[in-house]
């Protein structure tokens, strides 16, 4: 019979709402205005992101799944971890591809999904315990930029950070994240990283500007979150979604543009400001990688690349590195 999942809450809700307030003050209180993509993932946002992963234009999910499907056994053999950690696990079904291989071929004993959404995590933990009765599921409700120090210790650990989410970080945030991950691991522990790769601007823009407008709804959802959580009065219909490819920084840059001037009041953050006509709020970046510079960045953080796998079209990469 399945062992009961253990759920540890590192993220205290009070601090989380404090982080929202801090981010809003810092990001919206000065120009150019920005918001952190963290706030995109409330229940509605998580649902919309799930829908994005099923869009024909949004290739990363399918490509990463193909790599996992074709190479999960290689990954298991290369690291033979006893603890598998997944950062930002969400509802993810790609986890299953990985765990199927680990439970069939390896000596995995424990799975540690980490996510900011407590309900999503509790549901996932219960489902995974059912599906893998031999596995101890120890879920961690936490933010992977803050709570890596709370990862359970012991055994050979593999930390998986999939989906290309690392692309949401700015260069300096990425270095800080990799440094913190390095500090939270022991020598010999493993890191499995999913990254989207540089490709033609056409395909990238199509992936972030789908014809059904799901991505636009996903990005715009952050304004609904601020209206609800902080009592803000964004006139949401008066914004357009502006995704563009920044070829110098090699990243998608996703913004909301005010179609008319408006005064915004955000009581929960003690903030009031005027948005000019055409003024933009940057909500998310999605960096695309090249394998060479990725290897250098990992090395700079103290990780040695063991192997890299890509899909047939070289759209996406999975990199296995060791601390
Ligand atoms: C979940 C961060 C990997 O950057 O592709 C998808 C988020 N935003 N469409 C990405 C996203 C708009 C996604 N990540």
Which of 163, 193, 212 best tests ligand 1's pocket when mutated (most atoms within 8 Å of CB)? 163
Comparing C-alpha atoms, which of 3, 2, 57 is closest to residue 214?
Answer: 57
ipTM of the prediction: 0.98
User: How far, in Å, CA of 58 to CA of 60, rounded?
Assistant: 6
User: How far, in Å, CA of 136 to CA of 150, rounded?
Assistant: 17
Q: Kindly report the pTM of this predicted structure.
A: 0.94
Residue with CA closest to ligand 1 atom 1: 165
Q: Name the pairing type of β-strands 6-9 and 136-141.
A: parallel
Name the DSSP letter for residue 59: -
Tokens standing for residue 67: 């790599």
For residues 74 and 102, is the Cβ–Cβ distance under 8 A? Answer: no
For residues 266 and 24, is the Cβ–Cβ distance under 8 A? Answer: yes
CA angle 234, 239, 242 (to 5 degrees): 135
pLDDT tens per residue, the chain (323 residues)?
A: 568 899 999 988 777 778 889 999 999 999 999 999 988 988 899 889 989 999 999 999 999 999 999 999 999 999 989 999 999 877 667 788 889 989 988 889 999 999 888 888 899 999 999 999 999 999 999 888 889 999 999 999 999 999 999 999 999 999 999 999 999 999 999 999 999 999 999 999 999 999 999 999 999 999 999 999 999 999 999 999 999 999 999 999 999 999 999 999 999 999 999 999 999 999 999 999 999 999 999 999 999 999 999 999 999 999 999 99
How close is the Cα of 286 to the center of ligand 1, in Å? 6
Which residues line ligand 1 at a C-beta cut-off of 6 Å? 52, 60, 163-165, 167-168, 208, 215, 218, 284, 286
Residue with CA closest to ligand 1 atom 5: 286
User: How far, in Å, CA of 269 to CA of 56, rounded?
Assistant: 38
For residues 199 and 167, is the Cβ–Cβ distance under 8 A? Answer: no
User: How far, in Å, CA of 291 to CA of 296, rounded?
Assistant: 9
How close is the Cα of 165 to the center of ligand 1, in Å? 7
How close is the Cα of 171 to the center of ligand 1, in Å? 17
Tokens standing for residue 272: 């009031």
User: How far, in Å, CA of 272 to CA of 280, rounded?
Assistant: 16
User: How far, in Å, CA of 225 to CA of 207, rounded?
Assistant: 24
40: three-class secondary structure by DSSP:
helix
Comparing C-alpha atoms, which of 218, 221, 212, 94 is closest to residue 162?
Answer: 94
For residues 191 and 161, is the Cβ–Cβ distance under 8 A? Answer: yes
Radius of gyration of the chain (CA): 20
């Amino acid at each position: 019979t399945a062992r009961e999942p253990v759920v540890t809450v590192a993220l205290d809700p009070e601090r989380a709402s404090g982080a929202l307030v801090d981010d809003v003050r810092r990001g919206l209180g000065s120009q150019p205005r920005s918001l952190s993509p963290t706030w995109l993932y409330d229940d509605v946002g998580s649902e919309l992101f799930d829908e994005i992963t099923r869009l024909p234009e949004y290739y990363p999910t399918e490509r990463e799944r193909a790599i996992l499907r074709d190479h999960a056994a290689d990954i298991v053999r290369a690291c033979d971890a006893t603890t598998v950690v997944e950062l930002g696990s969400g509802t993810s079904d790609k986890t299953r591809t990985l765990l199927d291989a680990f439970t069939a071929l390896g000596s995995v004993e424990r799975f540690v999904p980490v996510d900011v959404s407590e309900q999503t995590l509790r549901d996932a933990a219960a489902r995974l315990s059912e599906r893998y009765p031999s596995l101890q599921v120890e879920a961690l409700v936490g933010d992977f930029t803050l709570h890596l120090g709370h990862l359970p210790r012991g055994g050979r650990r593999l930390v998986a950070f999939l989906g290309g989410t690392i692309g949401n970080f700015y260069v300096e945030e990425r270095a800080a994240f990799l440094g913190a991950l390095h500090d939270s691991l022991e020598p010999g522990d493993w890191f499995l990283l999913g990254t989207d790769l540089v490709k033609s601007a056409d395909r990238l823009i199509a992936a972030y500007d789908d014809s059904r407008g799901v991505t636009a709804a996903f990005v715009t959802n952050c304004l609904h979150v601020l209206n609800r959580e902080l009592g803000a009065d964004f006139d949401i219909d008066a914004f357009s979604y502006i995704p563009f490819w920044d070829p110098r920084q090699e990243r998608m840059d996703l913004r909301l543009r005010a179609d008319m001037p408006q005064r915004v009041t955000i009581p929960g953050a003690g903030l009031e400001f005027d948005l000019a006509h055409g003024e933009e709020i940057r909500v998310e970046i999605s960096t695309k990688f090249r394998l060479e510079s990725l290897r250098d960045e990992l090395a700079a953080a103290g990780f040695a690349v063991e192997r890299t796998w890509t899909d047939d079209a070289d759209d996406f990469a999975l990199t296995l590195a060791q601390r």
